Structure formats: structure tokens, C-alpha cells
Structure 1
Amino acid sequence: MQRYILRNKNKILLMSGVLIGFGFLSKGAMDNPVLFQLALLVAALFGVAPIAIQAYQALRVKVVSIDLLVTIAVAGAFLIGNFEEAAIVTFLFLFGAFLEQRTLNKTRSAIKALTEMAPETALKRREDGEFEEVAVDEVAVGDVLLVKTGAKVPVDGHVIAGRGSVNEASITGESIPVAKEEGSKVYAGTILDNGTIQMVADRVGEDTTFSKIIALVEEAQDSKSKAERFIDRFAKYYTPAVLALSVIVWLFARRLELAITILVLGCPGALVIGVPVSNVAGIGNGARHGVLLKGSEVVSAFSRVQTMVFDKTGTLTVGGPAVAETEYYGDHIEEALGYLASVERESDHPLAKAVLAAIGETEYSTVEATEVVKGSGIIAQVNGHRVAVGNVALMEREKVELNAKARADIARFQKNGDSLVLTAVDGELKVLMGVRDQIRPGVKGDLRKLKKLGVKNLVMLSGDNQGTVDAVSRELGLTEAHGNMLPEEKAAYIRRLIEEEGQIVAFVGDGVNDSPSLALASIGIAMGGGTDVAIETSDVVLMNSDFSRLPHALGLAKAITRNMKQNILIAVAVVLVLLASLLFSDWMNMSIGMLVHEGSILAVILNGMRLLRYRLR
């Protein structure tokens, strides 16, 4: 029976709410006090059942829990016939527990989601030179594997033949595919966007980078112990004290009514309701403003964050390459842009889409005699003109003159972290484009708001090269910025800040590769447009990847924490005043005490409801 009741707590919560609503409707609309009392009595009996069972189970292991506090309060309300308080207290307590459990349960599927993303098969070369599909567990170090377009790289290794572009977002978090050729390293779990490669397995099984990501998430989640709530600690000592005081009064004064009154007034209903109301109102405010806060413990830790660490791509930046800067040289630029678009339209290079998007509508021409220069770019014949599109090395190969202005522009673009796309027509430089992942609009202002809210250090960790990282850091005014970092290096950095320096650290990211850092950080904050794994591993989610919601989320967490402390103070102060007045004055009685008691409940509810209107100043 106990297991059945606990399994159906949510149904009991729903039934209790319906009965309470029906009760108040019968009193207000039908003027039927008997039906009102009956509905609330049944609602209270339903609601207290799972709470009482949990209190009993806790007592069996010698733990005085908050459930016992609520059970005693409801029992006292039954003794004095106050079914209204009994019903409302149990409903609000069960609703607060439901809300927190519902949000926290999502983290349990993070490991499963990561595991499902791991490659399961590989094309392994047999002794006769043919390739056969085998389970990835059958791949050994030194085996030669074939990876085709659209397939996942099965293990860590290096390319021995072929070339292509690999999407390494699952490892580095970077959106721009990386060109791979003979000698290049490739990682398990990454995807070959185009081309075909043969590779030699260097690390297999649990030694692969992707497997280490999964292990890091498991380790980080296991290391997170649930903090004991303040109310539980308070109840551990307070509840036995009230019980003892009630028994002492009954034994020595022989006044049963006074003993029951102490028991009833000593159970702080406002304390039981105050924290859930603050959490419900605060979390509701967050949901309306695109912020998901996963429980009261998250709110408490988030409000005390000292250092905020950011992934770059998809977090501080948009997450996709775009042309950031352009310079033109000489005449007939529109014609040159048309030639460039014609060449890029037929290219599978990762930067081609960014260039085409920047050019927009133009007149396309027929492209002939295309020659791909490995690692440099493309040369083609367009309308009888020799068009070269690529990097500086290609321009030098084509003996394109780069004057002082062009070289200065190239140096400036590179300092800004741009990938360069140069276009020459018949040996004359016409267009220079700088392509990079652009900073999100408004991020700089949002970071200033975070500093005003008390965040001391703003740090960026990225798998991108250090030059690009430094350029972004300078523009945003960050405290630190580190590039060329793999997931395990990011996690190690987070661990050092927490364990060695004792800081409360929040990590903000959006990719699979961010999952270990999200799980390990004091607070993991995921951009809602990122992967499901990152969202489920995190403690806070910013819906629609809207970075501007982050300052609101931090300010809201601080407001919720203040509000909870205020409610706790109100509740404890009222109880102390009631007990002191009952024992040391003649004017206090149960009626007055209950009136004050109900007033304190109303006070903490109204105080908590203020959070619904919270906005960051």
C-alpha cells in the first residue's frame, strides 16, 4: 500500500487540488459550509498520506525530515478541526516537491543520450584488401578503416589516404568543418561531411576521445552530492524540541489543550510553504522569460557564482561562419564578385556558403577547367578569365601581386581571427574577405550586466585556435581566454577552479563536447538551441539560445534566494512570537494564534508572489 501511494503522488496532488477548488467553490458560490469542510477534509486526508509515509520511512532510519514537520502540522490542524489549513499545506508541499522532481529528472537521460550518439560499426579492411562492416568493439589498434561521406568516424586515428571535411562539433564544439588529408588526426564520433578517407586506428574502446567525454559526464554527475536543505536541518532539531515542549507542558501543567495548542502553533506552516512558494514563483518567472531553473539547489548555488566560464562557438558567437570584413581592389568589382560566386557555388569548401551569403544575388557564369589546389584553394576558367579563389599561398603560387595595402589588410584580418578568402582575376587581386564566427549581438552589454550582478571573472574556453580566441576576448573584455582546448582539458580547468581555488563556477555551453564541463561545474548553463545532451546535463537552460536571458537568470536566482531567506525569517519569527506569547502572556489563545498563524502564511505567499513580477533593473 505504501509503495502504491508513493507511486501515485502526482495523482494524489491532482485530486487534492480539485477537491480544494471544489470546496472553495461550494462555500463561495453555493454557500454550503458543510460541503466546504467535507471537501477540504478529504483533500487533506489524500494529501497527508504520502507525506506521512515518507516521514515514517525517514524515522525508521533515524532522520527527522521536513515530511514529519508537515505531518505533525496537519495532525494538529485535524485536532482543532482546521481542515482548510491541513488541505492547503499538504497541497503546496506536494506541488513544490513535484515541480523540483520533474525538472531534475531530465538529467538522468544524459548518459544514455551520449551513449546513443557513439558510433556502433566500422568498415574494416580484410587481408584481401576488401572492407567489411564490423562492430566497433571488434576494431583493434592498427586496423585500417574506411569512412565514407556522411558516416561517423568509428575510433580515434590518423588519415593514410583520401581527403575530406570533418564536422568535429561533437569533440571541439566548432561549427566550421575541418579539412582532413593524409596524416591528419580524426576522432571517434565526428562526421565526415564530404569526401572519403582511409584511416589507421590509434585509440579504440574506452581510450577514444568520445568515450572519455561520456566517462567525464558520469564522473561529474556522480561527484555531485545533493545538498541538505536548510529546512531539513532546522526541522531535525526544531521538531523534536516542539514535541518535547508540548509533552513537558502536558506532564507538568496537566493542560492538554495548552499542549495541543503548542503543538499546533509550533508547527510553522509558513516555513513549510515559504520556500516552495518562492521557488514556484521564481521558476515560473524564469519560464516566462525563457529561463529554465532546475530546482531550488540550482537557484541557491547559481546565486553565489563567482566565475562564469563560456564556450565560444554557439555561446558567445553565433555558431556559423559568416563574412565579417571585405576589401575590394581595382575596377570591375561586380564582375569579379559574380566570378567568385560562380566558383564557390560549385565548391564544397566549408567557407563557400558564407561567401555566397555575403555576395547575395548576382549573375552566375559557366565555370570550366576547375583545378583544386590541395590546402590552398581553387583555380578555374570563368568567361575566358583565369579566376583563383583561396588563401595567400594560392595567390603567391599564381604570382598575384599583393601591394602594401593588401598586405596590411591581410594582417589586420588575421589579427581579428578571420579565415581569409582572396579572389584574383587574370593575376590581379580583386576581393579579400575575412570569414569568422561572429559574436552574438548584444553579448558585450550582457557581460557587463553579469559583472554588475557580482560575477568577478569571465573566462572563455574554446577548441578554436588561440588567435581567434584572443580576438574575441579583446572585443568582449573577458578576464581570460584559452584556445586549442579539448573537452577533457576544459573539464580539468573547471575542476581546478572548484577543487583547488574553491570557487563557485558556472559553465555556459551548447555542444556535446560541453557536457562534461556542464556536469562538472557548480552550475551548468546550456543554450537551449544546443544539443539535447547539453540541455539535459545542465542545471539552467536558456531557451532559444538567447544569451540575453543569462543576466535575467542570474538576477532572478539572487532574487529567489533573498525571497526564500525572507520567508524563512518571517516564518520562524512568527512561531517564536506565538510560542513566547502563549507561554508568557495571558492574552494569547488558540484563536488569536491561528489568526496570526494564517496571517504569516498569507505574508510569505504574497512575498513569494512578488517574484512573478521580477525584472532585471
Structure 2
Amino acid sequence: MNKINAWINGRWTTPALSGLLILASFTASKGYGAALAAQWLMVAAALVAGAPIVRNAVRALAVRHISIDLLVSIAAVGALIIGEYWEAAAVTFLFAIGHALESATLNKTRAALAELIAVAPDTAIVMRKGEQVEIPAASVAMGEVVLVKNGAKVPVDGEVIAGTGALDEASITGESIPVEKSKGDHVFAGTISRGGFLQVLATGIGADTTLARIIHRVEDAQDAKARTQKFMDRFSSWYTPAVVVLALLAGLISGSVVLGLTLLVVACPGALVISIPVSIVAGIGRSARDGILIKGGEFLETAAKIDVVAVDKTGTLTKGRPQLTDVVALAPGVDKNQVLAWAARAEAGSEHPLARPILEAAEQAGIAVAELPEHIEPVIGKGITARVEGKRVLIGNLALLEQFGVADTVGADRQAHQLATQGRTPMIVAVDDQVLGVIAVADEIRRDAAAMVAALHKAGVKKVVMLTGDVKPVADAVAAATGIDEVHAGLLPEDKLDIVARLQRAGHVVAMVGDGVNDAPALATADVGVAMGAAGSAVAVETADIALMGDDLLKLPEAISLARRTLSNIRQNIVIALATVGLLLTGVLMGGVTMAAGMLFHEGSVLIVIANAMRLLRRATPAHSAPLSTVARESAPSI
């Protein structure tokens, strides 16, 4: 029974019935004295295929919209009235077939969304009262422990509390290589275990998972309209009534009702109306498969015009985890371990981000940091001062030494400057009135940073600009290693915003890439704000114009290239649609195109437009593939 209902309500039912009636009419016309029966069968075919078209036209008129269905309805009814039964049946039958094909192919362009929904897990195994219980995934409670076995889907967002395993995160980040997971790592709902056994503490369930947010965002994005599409909608609202007037005038002037009705059919803007949304849906669907979330058609269209990309340094071009690179002992009788020990003891009570690499290096060197300093005070723009074992410890720049009257008799400032020119962040260490030496930390440049910059240039971006709060020597070193075109260093958040605004005033379309709160003003001001590594951030998924779900820099040029392909595809579709209408109108006015032939060519143009848009669903060869192979073999420098 369900199959029968599904067939009755299916997209192909109406054209199938209409087609059978047309065949029956042709068959009956061959019989002696059956001309009347053949005519009634042809009328029945027109009514079967035309009823849904008329119904849609009436619904559109109810909301004051003159639709394409109205043009076809007027033409079909007119043809029936003047006795052109075959024309009426052919027009409605072909339009019904076109509508069914359009529906089927549009559904295919939304395949990425269907795939995302398909990866959503149905069941989960949780630990309750010491036993393994299988429950629906939607029934998992926050804070419950979920078991993920080999081959199973992860049912929740959570943190691994025990076990090891490899997860396929392609549905979230677009990365095809399984990622190793162990205690403390985060996992996402919808990812698939490819080996191992994990115990996961649920921190996100149901609609609060990253997968659910992605599905919601893709749904909204595929329905959001680009500026070009909004213009085309306004154009269609004037074009369609104009066609009705043109057909009426042509019929009155020529005295041919058939000419007027044929003009109604061939001037239908079906391909024109669908030319933009089908490309946008396909483009956003392709990007979602690749771990790139684009907020909507407007941002897809804007991304295609990006000619300047502004990037933050820390956490974007670099890994955001500084490491201690140098310990230089300068005072007589003092070794490196002593310099590091005093620095670590002083930094033990500091909240500064550079304290962590110093403490980690001390731990690796076997230096005990047993107690917190007796007192610690940051000196803005200079460093910190601390009291350790009754001694005053200074860690910072030359200005800090001068403030406390400590003379640099061992050339510490010269050594610090030398380290800074190498892209490292130096800190002078002094105890009481003696300078002991200099330590330096550096952040490691991401292995794919240089490949990203090269790929952005290849994708058509004219200039890549670095905006950073770090000192200029460090920023210059990163720029030299990655190929950045322009550097702005020592910036506050409002300075980044001002530079983005200045680039926009110069006529550039600017994308800002960042991963921190300090980038928020610039991200909001830029034409397109891009969030890196958004899979673990609900805010980034919901607010970024483009969210790169994984931590892969090369997704950025990939997103821009896809946007450019989509915009080019839209333009191709518009040309196809307008050229078809122009040729058909010319053919009708010259007397060479009938109503049925016009509808056949019209539906053909719709299918060509859809097929052209569906090319976007194929994964293009990344522009960065060649340089990446070279970069991947090299170790990334520390900066």
C-alpha cells in the first residue's frame, strides 16, 4: 500500500499518465472513425499534465506572484480553446517532464546535505550502572560515558577519558586520513571508528553537536540567496508580466492567436530563474563535503571576488604553541641550566603565554620548580619582575633592566637583538643586579603555510597581508619563510580593524582569517570573515562567513577557488538561458518554431543549466597540490 501511495504521489506519475494518454490518442487516430476518441484522449492528456501547473499558477497569484506556471497555463488553455489539442498536450506533458527532471537533479545537488544527515548515528552504547546499554543516540544524556568500538559511529561530541583509537573525521573536517585519538582528545558525533576502543565523556548531544550545527548551517546556506539571485528574482517579477503583454500584442497585431500563445511558451524564463540557485546549492554542497562551511550564496559570491587575504600570525600561520629555542649564558661562571632555572622559577607564577614553554623546557631538563615565587608583577611592555628565594628576578627587555637600574655589562641587548632578527622572541634574565643571560622562544610555522600563500596567489588573490601583535622582526621572519606580501606588526585588535577598513577603502575585497578573540573586530569588518579549525567551536560555526572545519590552511585557497568556479558557472548558466530565449523568440517571429517545439527547447535549456551546475559537485584538482608535495617533505621552521 505504501509503495502504491508513493507512486501516486511520485514526481513521475503525472508525466507518465499524460504520456500514456498521448500514445493512446495516436493509436486511436489510426482506427477508422476514431478521430473524436483520439481528440478526447489528447484533451485528457493535457488536463492530466496541466492540472498541477494550473494549481501552482493559482497559488502563486494568491500571493501576487506571476509565475512561469501561469504562462504555460494560459498557453495550454488557449490552445485547447482554439482546438490545438496536440499543442496543449505536448506543452503540458513536456513541462511536466521538465519539472520532474528538475526536481530529481536539484535533489542530487543537495547530496552533500543528505550525506551529512546519513552519517548521523542512530544508536549509542553507554555505561549505566556498570553495564553496557544500547540506546538511541538521541537519548544519551550530558555527562554519560559512551563506548566507541571499531567500526561504530561516534554518537556524541565529547572528550576521550580512556582508550585509544583512530577516527575517520571526513564528514566533519573533510580530511580523509583517520586521526589518532587518546585520553584528553576531543571527538565529534558522526565520525567513524577505524580501529581501537574509546571511552568518551559526552559534552555535546542531539542538536548541540558539531554535526547538527553543520547540517543546520548547510540547510540555511543552500536556501540563502546571493545578490545576483536577488537581482534575478526582481528581474523575473517584471519580465514574466512583460511576456504576457508582448504575447497579447503580438496576437492582436498579427491576428494569430497561435503566435501569441507560442510566444508565451518560448519566452518562459525557467532556465534563467533556476540558473543561479542550482549553482549555489551545488557549490555550497561541494564545499560542505570538503569540510568548508560557507554561510550562504551572498558570501559564496563575495568570496569569488576576494583579492586581498589578511591573516593573523599566531595560531594561523604558526601553530600557536611557542617552544623554548635558545638559552644563552653570558655572566661568568653561569651555565645554561642556571639561566633556565631562574627563569622557570620566576615564570612559575606568571599567566603570560610564554611562561608555559619555559616551564616545559625546565621540566625536560630535569630542573625542579618546587614553589611559586614569593611575589610576581608584570611590567606592561617590558616583562615581569619576581621575588624568588629572597632575590629579585627580572625577565624582559632592556627597558626593564633600565627601569630597575641594572647595567647590561655582558652584551645581553646585542644578543637579544640577534635572536630577534632570526624571528625569535628574546628575554633577558637578571638576578638582583647581575645579568645572567638571554632566553628565547619561537612558534613553529605550520608546514603548509607557505603552500597556502602560493595557492592563494594561484587562485587569483593579489596580496596576502599579515596582521599580528608580535614584534616586527619576528613577523618579518615569518613573512620571509611563508612568502607573505605585506606585514603589519605590533598591532592591537582595533589596529587590525583599521587596516582591514583601509584596504576596503582602497577598493579591495578583503577576507580576514583568524582563530582568536583578538581577531573578532577585524573578522566582523572584513568582507568575508574566515574561522580556522571551527569544528571545535560552536560560535565559529554559527558566526563565521566561512568556517574551515579542520585545521588545514590549504582549505582556504580551496574555498576561494570553488567560489570562483561557482560564480563562473552562474555566468555560464545565465548566458545559456538568455541565448535560448533569444533564439526561440527569433524562431517564433520568423515562423519556424511551433508551441510544442518551443517547449521542448525550453525544457532542454533548463536541463543543460542544471547539468552544468552539477559539474560543481565534482572535486576539482586543488591548486595547491604541486607545491604541497614539496613542502610536506620539509620540516617546518620555528619562528
TM-score category, normalised to shorter length: 0.5 to 0.7
CA apart distance, 1:354: 2.0
Given that 2:15 and 2:97 are in contact with CA atoms closer than 8 Å, whether structure 1 keeps it comes out as no
Q: CA deviation at 1:571?
A: 1.3
CA contact (8 A) 1:76 1:260 kept: yes
Partners in 2 of 1:21 and 1:615 — Cα distance? 41
Could you tell me which amino acid in structure 2 is paired with residue 243 of structure 1? V
Report the Cα distance in structure 1 between the residues aligned to 2:563 and 2:498, rounded to whole angstroms: 27
Is the CA contact 1:268–1:571 (under 8 Å) kept in the aligned structure 2? yes
> In the superposition, relative to structure 1, how do residues 41 and 355 fare at CA in structure 2: closer, same or farther (>3 Å)?
farther
**Matching residue's letter, 1:258:** L
Instruction: Summarize the Cα distance change of 1:377–1:437 in structure 2 as closer, same or farther, 3 Å threshold.
Output: farther
Q: Give the SS at the match of 2:550.
A: helix
Native 8 Å contact 1:388 1:423 kept in 2:
yes
Q: Whole-Å Cα distance in 2 between the matches of residues 358 and 25 of structure 1? A: 73
Q: Which residue pairs with 1:453 in the alignment?
A: 459
1:495 and 2:496 equivalent? no
Decide which of 539, 556, 567 is 2:562's aligned counterpart.
556
**Are 2:322 and 1:322 equivalent residues in the alignment?**
yes
Q: Distance in 2 between matches of 1:502 and 1:366?
A: 55
Say if 1:282 and 1:556, in contact at 8 Å, map to a contact too.
yes
Other-structure match for 2:588: 582
1:253–1:368 distance in 2 versus 1, CA, 3 Å: closer
Find the aligned partners of 1:74 and 1:485 in 2 and give their Cα distance.
64
Indicate which of 78, 85, 92 corresponds to 1:81.
92
Name the residue aligned to 1:355: 358
Q: What pairs with 1:385-534 in structure 2 (closer than 5 Å)?
A: 390-391=395-396, 409-420=415-426, 433-498=439-504, 500-529=505-534
The aligned residue for residue 123 of structure 2 is none
Partner deviation per Cα, 1:222-248 (whole Å, 9 max, x = no partner)? xxx967744235435543442222112
Contact 2:280–2:566 (8 Å) recurs in 1: yes
Deviations 1:393-426 (A, max 9, x none): 799999999867x766532322345333567999
* Identical residues among aligned pairs (%): 33
For the 8 Å contact 1:19–1:43, the answer to whether it is kept is: no
Cα separation, partners in 2 of 1:458 and 1:356, compared to 1, 3 Å: same
The residue number in structure 1 matching 2:24 is none
Q: 1:362 to 1:279 in 2, by over 3 A?
A: same
Q: Shift in Å at residue 321 of structure 1?
A: 3.7
**Is 1:612 equivalent to 2:617 in the alignment?**
yes
Tell me, which stretches of 5 or more residues in structure 2 are unaligned? 1-5, 22-44, 78-87, 114-225, 379-383, 624-639
CA distance in 1, matches of 2:279, 2:587: 28
Contact 1:323-1:436 within 8 A present in 2 as well? yes
Q: Distance in 2 between matches of 1:292 and 1:49?
A: 38
Q: CA deviation at 1:464?
A: 3.7
- Go from structure 1 to structure 2 and tell me whether the alpha carbon gap of 1:528 and 1:51 turns closer, same or farther (over 3 Å shift): farther
- In structure 2, what residue type is equivalent to 1:354? P
Number of the residue aligned with 1:300: 301
Q: Which whole-Å deviations, capped at 9, do the CAs of 1:20-68 have from their partners, x for residues lacking one?
A: 983438999x99969xx999878767876775555x16xxxxxxxxx74
Aligned twin of 1:130 = none
1:567 aligns with 2:578: no
One-letter amino acid of the counterpart of residue 326, structure 1: D
Distance in 1 between residues matched to 2:464 and 2:574, nearest whole Å:
33
2: CA distance, partners of 1:424 / 1:366: 18
Q: 1:229 to 1:379 in 2, by over 3 A?
A: same
In 2, the alpha carbon distance for the partners of 1:380 and 1:578 equals 89
C-alpha change, 1:424 and 1:26, in structure 2 (3 Å) is farther
Q: How much does 1:367 deviate?
A: 3.3
Q: Report if aligned partners of 1:43, 1:87 keep a CA contact under 8 Å in 2.
A: no
Please name the residue that 1:289 is paired with.
Answer: 290
> Which shifted more, 452-461 or 474-483?
474-483
How far apart in 2 are the matches of 1:50 and 1:514? 48
Query: 5+ unaligned residues in a row in structure 1: which ranges?
Result: 1-17, 58-66, 101-224
The amino acid across from 1:85 in the alignment is G
Name the residue aligned to 2:251.
250
Partner of 2:608: 603
Q: TM-score, normalised by structure 1?
A: 0.60
Cα deviation per residue 1:475-527 (whole Å; 9 max; x = unaligned)?
Answer: 333332223434443333333332x4222222223334434433332222232
Read off the aligned partner of 1:502 and give its amino acid letter. G
Distance 1:600 1:245 in 2: 22
Call closer, same or farther: CA 1:70–1:387 in 2, change over 3 Å. farther
Which residue identity lines up with residue 509 of structure 1 in the other structure? G
Report if aligned partners of 1:73, 1:269 keep a CA contact under 8 Å in 2. Answer: no
Matches within 5 A, 1:132-147: none
Cα offset, 1:286, TM superposition: 0.8
Give the counterpart letter for 2:531 in structure 1.
A
Q: Distance in 2 between matches of 1:512 and 1:71?
A: 52
Partner of 1:547: 553
TM-score by length of 2: 0.58
Pairwise CA distance, 1:565: 0.8
Give the CA deviation at 1:322.
1.3
Q: How far has the Cα of 1:543 moved from its partner?
A: 1.6
Q: Are the aligned partners of 1:494 and 1:520 in contact in 2 as well (CA < 8 Å)?
A: yes
The 8 Å contact of residues 345 and 356 in structure 1, kept in 2 or not, is answered as yes
Is the 2:7–2:13 contact (alpha carbons within 8 Å) kept by the matching residues of 1? no
* Distance of 2:372 and 2:271 partners within structure 1: 81
8 Å Cα contact 2:465-2:486 kept in structure 1 = yes
The answer on whether the counterparts of 1:495 and 1:520 sit within 8 Å (CA) in structure 2 is yes
In structure 1, what is the Cα distance between the partners aligned to 2:299 and 2:317? 23
* Residue in structure 2 matched with residue 276 of structure 1 by the alignment: 277
Q: 2:232 — aligned with what?
A: 231
Which deviates the most, 257-266 or 600-609?
Answer: 257-266
Distance 1:465 1:356 in 2: 23
Mean alpha-carbon deviation: is it higher for 261-270 or for 283-292?
A: 261-270
Question: Separation in 1 of the partners of 2:255 and 2:341?
Answer: 102
1:24 aligns with 2:12: yes
Structure 1 residues 247 and 94 mapped into 2: Cα distance closer, same or farther (>3 Å)?
Answer: farther
Report the CA distance between 1:90 and its aligned residue.
7.7
Paired residue secondary structure (2:92): coil
Measure the CA separation in 2 of the matches of 1:270 and 1:592.
16
Change (3 A) 1:364 1:502: closer
- Per the TM alignment, residue 559 of structure 1 is displaced from its structure 2 partner at its CA by 0.5
Residue 126 of structure 1 corresponds to: none
Equivalences for 1:182-193 in 2 at 5 Å?
A: none
Q: CA 1:369–1:303 in 2, change beyond 3 Å: closer, same or farther? A: closer
Partner of 2:176: none
Q: What RMSD in Å do the two structures reach over aligned CA positions?
A: 4.8
- Cα distance in 2 between the residues matched to 1:432 and 1:362: 17
Quick one: distance in 2 between partners of 1:70 and 1:431?
A: 82
Measured against aligned partners, the alpha-carbon deviations of 1:528-566 in whole angstroms (never above 9, x if no partner) come to 438655554442222234321110011111100111111
Q: Bigger shift: 337-346 or 555-564?
A: 337-346
**Where does residue 266 of structure 1 map in the other structure?**
267
Tell me the residue number matched to 2:39: none
